[in-house]
Amino acid sequence: MGEARRSGDRRLNRRHLMLGAGAGAAAGLFGAGYLLGGREPSRDWERSKDPLKVYLPRDDTANRQQVLLVDQWNMRYADERFGAEIVELSPIADQAYSVVHSKLQSGASGIDVVGLDVPWIAEFAAEEYIRELEGVDRAGFIDQIFAAGVVDGRVYALPFHSDVGMLYYRREFVDEDRLRGLRGWGDLREVVDEVLPGTGFEGGIAMQLDAYEGFTVNVWEYLLAGGVDTAEDGSVDFGADSRAVELLEQRLPEDLYPALMGRSPDSAPRILYDSLYSDERDSLSAFEAGRTPFLRHWPRVFRSFDPCSADFQVGVVPMPGGVLGGQSLAVSAASRRPVVSQALIEFLTGPAAQQLIFERGGYAATRHEPYYDALARIANIGEGRGEEDGEGVRYDLLCEGEADEEVAGEAPPRLEAGVLHAALEDAGRRPGVERYTQFSRAFHGLLHHALAQGGRPDLDRLGEELRDAVEGR
């Protein structure tokens, strides 16, 4: 936090921070006006009476910030025939993939901009379903996130909003200092074993391990956090001497079934057994019901917890092995208006739009600036209220009386900005294979069945099925 409160060697006071780092206030007071004053149309932009068709998963956030940003674009270009219209897809990744893949494969011209999950980009680029983007400025984007849209050195998609695995915990049961030093699942396993005895919890951590994409993400994080090395494309060797064999055949089953370690079957497992039948909503419900002291989830759920609650105090740190998720925007190869479509993408991923995505939408922004702004605001509110803490989250800042006059009336800053930014910069990746969806279905199909039956998975068969999936057999 110390770096966020200084410019050179000069300590910033409240007024300096409010004026110099007040992008959040600026976005709140005149964000729409700033956005509406954006890029002027080029003579190359293609005009049409028909709006651009933008295919995006349904935005389930309270204020539907994705829709508001497209509305702002339309207000800016109301008389220019550059309008855009969102076509909402299912928020369930597998269902959205089926629709988008079918549309792009058909070469239909009725789709201009498409939101793609990060692991789909390589496949859609290889199939030439999306266009390479020309003259893109990558300045300001978080490197890991921007790189997800680059295939063979070419930019095919720009990041709209991001995601990464985060570890939530009940602060009254967990030593926060221990969590800051987590280096992998081995460390987390030790902490869980310290917390569980005598607490009455049904399991250590609630996860998303039902037979869907969430299983692939959670288990991939488990592998990365367990010390598995990935190839350049993010893939893993499941051969006999691989670290992945030990983790999937021994450690993961033991974390779900205490009896495999010689403990009583009635002992609380490190991973809540019901996680095998849980998605994001189910696992969050289990955590909120007090069934586990830990939860693996995405950044957006932090906003659902009351930082000032006396009965249910929740903290957050990066999930060991956390992998990158989120939505990137690409231009359909069949679009008849590729130039204006790219301009729309640049608008939606630009600095001002990302500030609003972060502050109002609750998403993880894809650029650095919103995080720096939040840290500056936290420093501004917290100045003179105790020790600075550059690694953790200052949960106390909003729970010790009224905010000062200078910040009264503003939405509170995102207290988790620092740990979220760190998690994104250090995020792992899922396999960058061209048929990722088929890969994922094979991965969670075989592994989930074996784990749900209480057995150990057949990794020889898994390796064969993954190869067949990647090769399209």
Whether residue 28 is found in the same domain as residue 149: yes
Whether residue 245 is found in the same domain as residue 175: yes
Whether residue 256 is found in the same domain as residue 126: no
Q: Is residue 462 part of a domain?
A: yes
Whether residue 156 is found in the same domain as residue 216: no
Whether residue 205 is found in the same domain as residue 139: no
Please give the Cα distance from 431 to 96 (Å, whole number): 19
Q: Is residue 386 part of a domain?
A: no
Q: How do strand 314-318 and strand 166-170 relate by DSSP bridges?
A: antiparallel
pLDDT score at 7: 32
pLDDT score at 171: 92
Q: Which of 336, 359, 382 represents a domain boundary (last residue)?
A: 359
Whether residue 177 is found in the same domain as residue 308: yes
Closest alpha carbon to 91 in 281, 274, 354: 281
Whether residue 284 is found in the same domain as residue 199: yes
363 touches 300 (CB < 8 A): yes
Closest alpha carbon to 275 in 214, 230, 317: 214
Helix (H, G, I), strand (E, B) or coil at 168: strand
Q: Is residue 80 part of a domain?
A: yes
Q: Is residue 384 part of a domain?
A: no
Whether residue 221 is found in the same domain as residue 267: yes
Per-residue pLDDT of the chain (473 residues; tens, 9 = 90+): 333 333 333 333 322 333 233 333 333 333 333 344 456 777 789 898 899 999 999 988 778 999 999 999 999 988 888 999 999 999 888 889 999 999 999 988 889 999 999 999 999 999 999 999 999 999 999 999 999 999 999 999 999 999 999 999 999 999 888 898 888 999 999 999 999 998 999 999 999 999 999 999 999 999 999 988 776 555 677 776 788 888 999 999 999 999 888 787 778 999 999 999 999 999 999 999 999 999 999 998 998 888 778 789 999 999 999 999 999 999 999 999 999 999 999 999 999 999 999 998 889 999 999 999 999 988 887 665 544 444 567 676 666 654 443 445 567 788 899 999 999 999 998 887 888 888 999 999 999 999 999 878 888 888 888 888 888 77
Q: Is residue 429 part of a domain?
A: no
Q: How do strand 150-151 and strand 6-7 relate by DSSP bridges?
A: unpaired
Using CA atoms, how far residue 141 sits from 61, 316, 340, in Å, is: 23, 24, 21
pLDDT score at 241: 74
Q: Is residue 10 part of a domain?
A: yes
- Output the six-digit token pair for 169: 């915990």
Q: Is residue 289 part of a domain?
A: yes
Whether residue 38 is found in the same domain as residue 90: yes
Q: Is residue 464 part of a domain?
A: yes
pLDDT score at 267: 87
Closest alpha carbon to 85 in 57, 131, 53, 48: 53
Helix (H) or strand (E) holding 296: strand 294-297
Domain that residue 331 falls in: 3-163+325-359
DSSP state of 416: T
Whether residue 235 is found in the same domain as residue 345: no
Whether residue 300 is found in the same domain as residue 340: no
Whether residue 464 is found in the same domain as residue 346: no
Find the CATH number of the domain harbouring 233: 3.40.190.10
Number of domains in the chain: 2
